Structure 1
């Protein structure tokens, strides 16, 4: 039997469930801070695949742009240990002219907050690597997943 450490739990809201692996943790048994970007990026990869309808095509490519990282932030409220379960709820936040925010709220299944994260891609012309406005088609797609971030 193969165990999945990360899978889509719900599509509305979009939630990825992840099990903490022993290798994610330091000798004291706490998840390394540096593993949290992996958790975020893994959940967002599944979210973006959901947004494009599971086509296998990247979100940016589908709309004719590259989407490199402009910024990433984390705010921690708890810790995780081996075999803990964390639910990662993903949604779109603010849409600006050339960039936008993906948000991810990491919580225990009972609702206790572990972390809040934001990943902000910027739209670029892939062939010249310079920023460009969010294409209208991408903006319309993202608008279907926008939610105002709540404060703790």
Structure 2
């Protein structure tokens, strides 16, 4: 990960790396289809920690902000096994008034494994009613959206 100063735009897209485990596989000895959504969500949560300096638990419990997913679409390109290391690139493709559209792409080496889009909405954690993008995240999200468009 490139060095950056506080408040500066990241120099490259965020990549979350994880080893595919035995527990991720099914009877066919490849990663179970439903695990790919977990891989994508795990990578996006890691993006939040890295790029926004917080995680979903802190946002929900300490700040009263929820970000439930309202849309997910994945395309599967190649199977993976516990011999593979999965690198998922996360890009913020669109910053809306109260939502975020992420584009994810998972690769094992140079082989594209899966790709997709996920959309989450900002909500009041207590009522689950939509709220606008919190001001504390706006500038960083705008930088990420510019990076994601580039």
TM superposition score normalised by structure 2 = 0.78
8 Å contact from structure 1 (residues 48, 58) kept in 2: no
Determine the structure 2 residue equivalent to 1:33: 33
Count of residues in correspondence between the two structures: 139
- Alpha-carbon RMSD across the aligned residues, in angstroms, is 2.5
Determine the structure 2 residue equivalent to 1:120: 119
Structure with greater proportional helix content:
2
Q: Write the deviation string for residues 93-138 of structure 1: whole angstroms up to 9, x where unpaired.
A: 111222111222101222x211112221111122322112223332
Change (3 A) 1:67 1:61: farther
In 2: Cα distance, 1:33 partner to 1:54 partner: 29
Listed as ranges, the matches of 1:1-152 within 5 Å are 10=1, 12-53=12-53, 58=58, 65-110=65-110, 112-146=111-145, 147-148=148-149
**Bigger CA drift: 47-56 or 29-38?**
47-56
Q: Alpha-carbon deviation of 1:50?
A: 0.7
Structure 1 unmatched ranges of 5 or more = 1-9
More RCO (CA 8 Å, sep 6+): 2
Determine the structure 2 residue equivalent to 1:6: none
Change (3 A) 1:86 1:48: same
